[in-house]
Amino acid sequence: MNSTVYSKDGKELRTIELADTVFGLPINEDLIWYAINNELANKRQGNACTKDRGEVHGSNAKPYRQKGTGHARRGDKKSPLLVGGGTIFGPKPRDFSWSLPKKAKRQAIKVILSLKAQSDMLKIIEDFSIESGKTKDLAGLLKNFNPGLRTVLILKDDDRMLKRAAANIPWLHYLSYNRLRAHDLFYGRQVLMLETAAKNLNDFYGPGGPAGNSPAVEGNADGGSAAEEPKEAAE
């Protein structure tokens, strides 16, 4: 598929070919959900902790005698029924992380890129850099591309000064082409991609690349997984 390359002023310059194996895949909503859920789960600290009645500091003595007071019977002041007592079935530190197969992660990124391309939410921009590293210089450039929308900028490399300029823009998120995150990509209202980053993605996720085809999780038009071809019976 072909896409238009825009200048820094927002004017059309030329066209660039985007690999169908990266930007032209059918949408698999289930795979996108698993990828985003996996990222959010792995970010959780899991350090919430409460004390049960055995961990609360206090005396084990009964507050009053068992019978004859007219009150309900009580064991000790650490009871979960009393203010300041223990917590029943409260959270304890735990690990919320879980693993998603590498092929599924890579396929989810390609599916999200395809979704953005097919929804006209992806724009390719000629390569640029912010030599000064100043936020106002980058903000002035982005005025030509719907400023204010939740935007994802995909970089061609680790441009330190460009990242520095983008850090103080609240609606802008930046990602390197080889370290994309499904959550940021999916929820971005528009994706701005440098021209070299688009070419790198063609090679990186294309056939023969470091993160090439993932046949085990290729999506059908219905959003399901592709069925494996039957093997021929052994003679």
CATH number of the domain to which 162 belongs: 3.40.1370.10
* Same domain as 144, residue 105: yes
- Same-domain pairing of 175 and 73: no
- Strand 122-125 to 2-6 pairing: parallel
Are 155 and 197 in contact by the 8 Å Cβ rule? The answer is yes
Residue type, 223: G
Kindly state whether residue 35 falls inside one of the protein's structural domains.
yes
Number of other CB atoms surrounding residue 70 within 10 Å: 5
Here the tokens at position 72 are 């309900």
Q: Is 4 helix (H, G, I), strand (E, B) or coil?
A: strand
Report pLDDT for 66.
93
Q: Which phi and psi angles does 74 have, rounded to 5°?
A: -130, 150
Measured in degrees and rounded to the nearest 5, phi and psi for residue 222 equal: -85, 0
Res 213: pLDDT: 56
Judgement on whether residues 78 and 184 belong to the same structural domain of the protein? no
Give the C-alpha separation, 85 to 57, whole Å.
9
Whether the predicted pLDDT of 6 surpasses 80: yes
Asked if 137 and 206 sit in the same domain, the reply is yes
Confidence of residue 157 (pLDDT cuts 50, 70, 90): confident
Shared domain for 145 and 79, answered yes or no, is: no
Per-chain mean pLDDT for the chain:
87
Structure confidence by residue, pLDDT tens digits, 167-213? 999 999 999 998 999 999 999 999 999 999 999 998 888 777 776 65
Rounded Cα gap, residues 196 and 23, in angstroms: 15
Q: Per residue in 47-76, pLDDT tens? A: 999 999 999 999 999 989 999 999 999 899
Q: Are residues 108 and 21 in the same domain?
A: yes
Domain carrying residue 60: 50-90
Tallying the residues shown for the chain, one arrives at 235
Residue 37 DSSP one-character state: H
60 and 166 share one domain = no
Please report whether residue 232 resides in a domain.
no
Query: For residues 32 and 111, is the Cβ–Cβ distance under 8 A?
Result: yes
In the block, tokens 């440098």 appear at 194
Whether residue 227 lies inside any domain: the answer is no
Examine residue 230 and state whether it is found in any structural domain, yes or no. no
C-alpha dist (Å) from residue 229 to 42, 151, 232: 34, 40, 9
Same domain? For 136 and 64 the reply is: no
Whether residue 122 lies inside any domain: the answer is yes
Question: Is the four-CA dihedral 19, 24, 29, 30 of positive or negative sign?
Answer: negative
How many structural domains does the chain have?
Answer: 2
Give the global pTM.
0.79
Do residues 116 and 174 share a domain? yes
- Asked if residue 58 is part of any domain, the answer here is yes
| pLDDT: which is higher, 37 or 8 | 37
Residue 225 lies in a domain: no
CA max distance for the chain: 92
Q: Hey, how many other C-beta atoms are within 10 angstroms of the C-beta on 16?
A: 16
Specify whether 107 is located in the same domain as 200: yes
